[in-house]
């Protein structure tokens, strides 16, 4: 299965490479059709959409230089669109950069796109790092996890753990204490530092004696998957470990991805299927309501900018149905403007995932949302059963 997924991804990247000149040509033509001296609201809408798709798809498939240049153009275009009368010098600068995209693409074609990191289902025991200066606890946790078939490595200090990660040795999951001699929140701080320094997402369960809001916020700002209090409930820990480490199960997570760019859509479908999820891709936003009713996903991923209907518009429609009120909706976008994020979320979305999205990060973000959705439904059913 691993080789098949990689083959699909490689073919997708090769097909996109052939289409890049057509996309760049469409962007140049659209720019030339706009007369800044006859500017009106929405004049840049189609150009913005074309650049948005290029930035997201290029980044998703490893063409990072092209993606970054397109994202920078989007920022400049947003500044101009907010003006009643566009700055002509800035408009000309945008034009020059658009024509430079062709050269950027040619350079990257010679270099080849960066290889995407992707997690694939495996029968090999998952590796768990246990980081705690309490040797008795680490031995207890290690023995418990060994009995369930996991491989563990133990660290007494965050520094030793961090150096191992810097050497390129990453676990499938980290069990991290929060409090060390270096500081009360040293565990969370080192995870956050590695995330920023190495640009990686480390699935983590924090185990702490601190039940304070500050400690919990430190953990979740570092990207924590779960937060447990000491003394550790081993049964609960094993259940959470299985949920976070097992890519395939008897009842895999169901995810729907909606994006009218087929390259981005297929890349996300491949990435999520590689993590053992059941995925349905939709490239026509007008079909989403009917498809959601039939498929009943645990999580819905919606592109923000689509011509037939935007992601926020679709979210607003779905929220009108009571049976879909629980559905986690994650918007996909290269948009960085917080005000636009807030406006989109006000229509019923739960969060933003910024394009380009590394496959491993996408997998973990979706798994975390799917787990919470199922857990909330279970709690709701249990509560109703007691009435």
Q: What is the pLDDT of residues 374-387, one digit of tens each?
A: 877 777 777 777 76
Return d(Cα 311, Cα 362) in angstroms, integer: 18
Return mean pLDDT, the chain. Answer: 84
**For residue 222, pLDDT beyond 80:** yes
Instruction: Give 323's DSSP letter.
Output: G
Whole-model pTM: value is 0.69
Residues with Cβ within 8 Å of residue 21, at least 6 apart in sequence: 102, 105
**For residue 115, pLDDT beyond 70:** no
Among the ranges given (185-189, 297-301, 322-326), the one the predictor scored with the smallest mean pLDDT: 322-326
pLDDT at residue 1, as a whole number: 42
Residues with Cβ within 8 Å of residue 48, at least 6 apart in sequence: 74, 77, 78, 81, 305
pLDDT in tens, 11-27: 888 888 889 999 999 99
As a whole number, mean pLDDT of residues 67-93 equals 85
Q: Which helix (H) or strand (E) holds 268?
A: helix 262-274
Percent of residues, the chain, with pLDDT higher than 90: 27
pLDDT at residue 141, as a whole number: 92
Domains of the chain, first to last: 2-111 (1.20.120), 127-245 (3.40.50.2300), 254-385 (3.40.50.2300)
Lookup: tokens for 80: 């101009």
Q: Which residue in 191, 195, 185, 186 sits closest to 205, CA to CA?
A: 191
Return d(Cα 130, Cα 32) in angstroms, integer: 58
Among the ranges given (22-36, 95-109, 217-231), the one the predictor scored with the smallest mean pLDDT: 95-109
**Which of helix, strand or coil describes residue 133?**
coil
Percent of residues, the chain, with pLDDT higher than 70: 91
Reported confidence tier of residue 233, pLDDT bands at 50, 70, 90: confident
Reported confidence tier of residue 224, pLDDT bands at 50, 70, 90: confident
Return d(Cα 161, Cα 10) in angstroms, integer: 34
Q: Which residue in 254, 246, 265, 149 sits closest to 203, CA to CA?
A: 246
Among the ranges given (81-85, 174-178, 202-206, 364-368), the one the predictor scored with the smallest mean pLDDT: 81-85
DSSP string covering 175-211, please?
A: EEES-BTTBTTHHHHHHHHHHHHH-----EEEEES--
């Amino acid at each position: 299965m691993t080789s098949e997924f990689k083959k699909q991804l490689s073919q997708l990247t090769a097909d996109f490479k052939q289409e890049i000149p057509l996309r760049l040509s469409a962007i140049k033509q659209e720019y030339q059709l706009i007369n800044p001296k006859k500017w009106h609201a929405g004049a840049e809408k189609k150009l913005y959409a074309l650049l948005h798709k290029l930035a997201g798809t290029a980044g998703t498939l490893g063409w990072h230089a092209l993606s970054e240049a397109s994202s920078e153009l989007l920022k400049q275009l947003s500044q101009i669109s907010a003006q009643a009368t566009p700055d002509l010098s800035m408009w000309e600068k945008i034009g020059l950069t658009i024509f430079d995209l062709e050269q950027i693409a040619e350079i990257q074609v010679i270099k080849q796109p960066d290889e995407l990191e992707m997690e694939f289902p495996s029968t090999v025991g998952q590796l768990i790092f246990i980081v705690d200066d309490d040797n008795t606890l680490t031995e207890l946790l290690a023995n418990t996890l060994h009995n369930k078939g996991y491989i563990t490595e133990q660290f007494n200090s965050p520094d030793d753990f961090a150096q191992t990660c810097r050497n390129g040795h990453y676990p499938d999951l980290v069990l991290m204490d929060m409090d060390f001699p270096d500081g009360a929140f040293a565990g969370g701080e080192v995870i956050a530092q590695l995330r920023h320094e190495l640009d990686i997402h480390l699935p983590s369960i924090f185990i702490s004696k601190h039940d304070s809001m500050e400690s919990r916020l430190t953990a979740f700002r570092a990207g924590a998957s779960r937060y447990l209090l000491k003394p550790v409930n081993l049964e609960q820990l094993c259940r959470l470990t299985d949920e976070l480490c097992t890519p395939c199960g008897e009842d895999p997570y169901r995810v729907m991805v909606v994006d009218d760019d087929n390259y981005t859509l297929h890349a996300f479908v491949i990435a999520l299927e590689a993590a053992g999820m059941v995925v349905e891709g939709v490239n026509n936003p007008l079909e989403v309501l009917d498809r959601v009713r039939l498929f009943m996903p645990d999580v819905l991923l919606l592109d923000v900018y689509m011509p037939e209907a935007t992601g926020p518009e679709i979210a607003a429609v779905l929220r009108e149905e009571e049976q879909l009120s629980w559905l986690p909706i994650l918007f996909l976008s290269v948009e960085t403007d917080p005000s636009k994020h807030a406006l989109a979320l006000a229509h019923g979305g739960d969060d933003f995932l910024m394009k380009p999205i590394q496959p491993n990060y996408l997998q973990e973000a979706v798994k975390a949302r799917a787990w919470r959705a199922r857990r909330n439904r279970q709690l709701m059913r249990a509560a109703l059963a007691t009435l």
